[in-house]
Amino acid sequence: MASELDQEVARRRTFAIISHPDAGKTTLTEKLLLYGGAIHLAGSVKARRASRHATSDWMELEKERGISVTSSVLQFPYRGHAVNLLDTPGHQDFSEDTYRTLAAADSAVMLIDAAKGVEPQTKKLFKVCRMRGIPIFTFVNKLDRWGRAPLELMDELEQVLGIRAYPMNWPIGMGPEFRGVYDRQSKVVHVFAAEGRHGESEVQERSISIDSPDILTVLSERELATLKEEIELLDIGGDEFTREKVEQGQLTPMFFGSAMTNFGVRPFLDHFLTLAPAPTSRQTKNGPREPTHPKFAGFVFKIQANMDPAHRDRIAFMRVVSGRYTKGMSAFHSRLGKEVRLAKPSQFLAAERTAIEDAWPGDVIGLFDPGMFRIGDTLCEGEDLLFDSVPRFSPEYFAIVRSKDPLRRKQMEKGLEQLSEEGTVQIFQQLGMGMKDPIVGVVGALQFEVLQYRVEHEYGARIMLDRLPFSHARWVVGPNFDPKTFDWEGNRQTVQDRDGLPLVLFRDDWALQHAEEKHPELKFLSAAPLLRQLAATGS
């Protein structure tokens, strides 16, 4: 058992792709699936002539808008590896889903637009990766268009993000003149040939040593001279490559290519799977849990309702941390304090499910959820274990929800409840009103649009949203807090979260600062998990 567990851990790679919107993340995801053999033709969401939509985008709204608004789990084999690819939303209004997904990843691929460089959302997500201490790999995309010089992009990574870059390969040309990439390790030039299929199938490539006399059959003398000059500059002035620096987040391996045309995708995938870490340990209240620990353990990082509209079901996505999961097994549910059966396990290619018999550390599996799972729940075999909680962020936009049809109120309440458990929105109750005119809070304003769309199309209820003037939410801990008297002149309103815990909505920074100064005996917390820990200890 131990040797089989070791082997399965060693061949797994679990990673997420992070980027600013429109950097090409969904396109790169599809091309990785293409080379992994999971799909045979790729259709970009933005290709006007393509009749297909992105494989990773399963929600109708995503297909209509051409953006990813939920995280997808994509699993495929590639050259002896079992790859778990966590595709995440690029739009900043859905960044909370991305933050949660990064908790389940062992490494991240940072996608950068060659013309735009490091963009605002990239900075935010990079910081989250830094906080988690996971290795970061960089893929510079859209070399088939004119962009900034590769050396300039390397410098920007260091100046803006504070991380040094080591180019694993180097581009030959740019825009219409983008010919291929040079592999610095093998000293081989990969020259690509476009087949006029708009990147739908694997691109043909020719590989030849830079020292071969035949190199001039694929590169012009000018291209070869420019390449040698740039490589010499990198060898003399660049960083030394060490895996230790990569694992410590001090150095990012850098790759160049074009996801749209498939140029450079396969060389990137080959190198990445060699360098990326196998599943790593996860911190618990009792210390780190190693993936090779013989007892099964895992945690829920995402819940998705209605992936199959015909069945109106809910799926809890669980990252396996240690041991072996087997179909139908029971595990201890730490939050509920009891044994539960983990039923109907599935693996995914976006919305397509495959029933599985077992899973190993690093795998992400979907469990049928009858309503007993929440984001952050720990499941373990034979003991009470608690992994560090998956963060739940303070909303920044708020609205009162009202049903347009009183006869569909039950459907509205069911939709709100399930979507809040999924993490799409947070639901708050006004004091003494229960679920009458509940308040929803979101991290990004576009989530309101997704909420209305999904409540109508998945639950059959049309809703109105009356926006509120608040911009901060803080959970309150401390003695003598009276929710009924805390509201003040429209600058703040006290509500309850789904667990009945009080929190205060503040109009602006000044209102929050005023409350902190007037009530030094109270703590105003921006994260719910910390509050639950304080409440459990009686603080």
Per residue in 445-498, pLDDT tens? 878 888 888 888 888 999 999 999 999 999 888 887 888 788 777 788 999 888
Cα 51 from Cα 41, distance rounded (Å):
11
Q: 16 near 132, Cβ under 8 Å?
A: no
User: What's the first-to-final CA gap in the chain, in angstroms?
Assistant: 45
Picking from 473, 429, 422, the residue whose alpha carbon sits closest to that of residue 451 is 422
- 8 A C-beta contact, residue 15 and residue 85: yes
Give the per-residue pLDDT at 307.
Answer: 59
pTM of structure: 0.77
What does each C-alpha distance from 214 to 105, 203, 211, 217, 472 come to in angstroms?
43, 21, 8, 5, 64
Q: List beta partners, residue 223.
A: none
- The predicted pLDDT at position 369 comes to 85
DSSP-assigned beta bridge partners for residue 322: 297
Q: What values do phi and psi take at 174, rounded to 5? A: -160, 155
Q: Binding site residues, as ranges?
A: 19-26, 87-91, 141-144
Q: Is the pLDDT of residue 523 over 70?
A: yes
Confidence of residue 309 (pLDDT cuts 50, 70, 90): low
Q: pLDDT over 70 for what percent of the chain?
A: 83
Cβ atoms of 31 and 53 closer than 8 Å:
no
pLDDT, position 352: 63
Cβ-based neighbours of 408, under 8 Å, separated by 6 or more:
460, 461, 462
10 Å CB burial of residue 20 (0-12, 13-18, 19+) is: buried
Amino acid at 322: S
E-strand stretches of 415-490: 426-430, 439-442, 463-467, 472-477
CA 3 from centroid of its chain's CA atoms: 31
Tens of pLDDT, residue by residue over 325-335, are 998 899 999 98
pLDDT score recorded for residue 49: 34
Alpha-carbon gap, residue 116 to 156, rounded angstroms:
11
Residue 27 in tokens: 């396109």
The residue type of 257 is: G
- Which residues contact residue 399 at a Cβ distance below 8 angstroms, ignoring those fewer than 6 apart? 439, 440, 448, 465, 466, 467, 468
Please report the beta strands in 356-501, taking only residues with DSSP state E, as ranges in sequence order. Answer: 358-359, 364-368, 378-380, 397-403, 426-430, 439-442, 463-467, 472-477, 492-496
List of E strands, 323-438: 325-326, 330-333, 338-341, 346-349, 352-355, 358-359, 364-368, 378-380, 397-403, 426-430
Q: What mean pLDDT is predicted for residues 343-364?
A: 76
pLDDT tens for each residue of 204-235: 788 999 999 889 988 999 999 999 999 999 99
Please count the other Cβ atoms lying within 10 Å of the Cβ belonging to residue 296. 22
Query: 7-17 burial string, b = 16+ CB within 10 Å, else e?
Result: ebbebbbbbbb
pLDDT of residue 528: 62
- Reference 272, options 284, 287, 257, 254; nearest CA is 254
Q: Which residues contact 367 (CB under 8 A, 6 or more apart)?
A: 300, 315, 316, 317, 318, 342, 343, 344, 345, 373
Beta partners for residue 506, in sequence order:
472, 492
- With beta carbons less than 8 A apart as the criterion, state whether 119 and 23 touch: yes
d(CA 178, CA 251): 26
Tell me the C-alpha to C-alpha distance, in Å, between residue 113 and each of 118, 144, 147, 341, 377.
8, 11, 8, 45, 36
Q: Distances in Å between the alpha carbon of 332 and those of 64, 208, 282?
A: 41, 56, 18
Written as six digits, the tokens of 483 are: 């929710």
**Contact present, 332 and 381 (Cβ < 8 Å):** yes
Mean pLDDT score of the chain: 83
d(CA 155, CA 129): 20
Total count of residues recorded for the chain: 539
**Mean pLDDT for the stretch of residues 405-429:** 86
3-state DSSP assignment of residue 274? helix
- The 3-state DSSP class for residue 75 equals strand
**Nearest residue to 188 (alpha-carbon basis) of 220, 214, 211, 165:** 211
Calculate mean pLDDT across residues 77-88.
86
pLDDT at 138 > cutoff 90: yes
Q: Quick check: 80 pLDDT over 80?
A: yes
- Quick check: 272 pLDDT over 80? yes
pLDDT at residue 19, as a whole number: 86
Q: What is the pLDDT of residue 437?
A: 86
Which residues are annotated as part of the binding site for GTP?
19-26, 87-91, 141-144
Per DSSP, the residues of 119-145 read -HHHHHHHHHHHHHT--EEEEEE-TTS
pLDDT band at 50 (very low <50, low <70, confident <90, very high): very low
Contact 428, 438 (CB under 8 A): yes
Looking at 199-208, 346-355, 413-422, 440-449, which range is the least confident one?
Answer: 346-355
Residue entry with tokens 């809040």: 420
pLDDT at 283 over 50: yes
Lowest-confidence region among 68-72, 138-142, 422-426, 438-442:
68-72
Question: What token pair was written down for 336?
Answer: 């509920």
Structure tokens at 301: 């990082």
Q: Is the pLDDT of residue 91 over 60?
A: no
Half-sphere exposure (Cβ direction) of 415: Cα atoms closer than 13 Å: 23
Strand partners, 19: 111
Is the model's pLDDT at 139 over the cut of 80? Answer: yes
Residue 266 phi, psi (nearest 5)? -65, -45
Q: Which residue has the tokens 């000059």?
A: 229
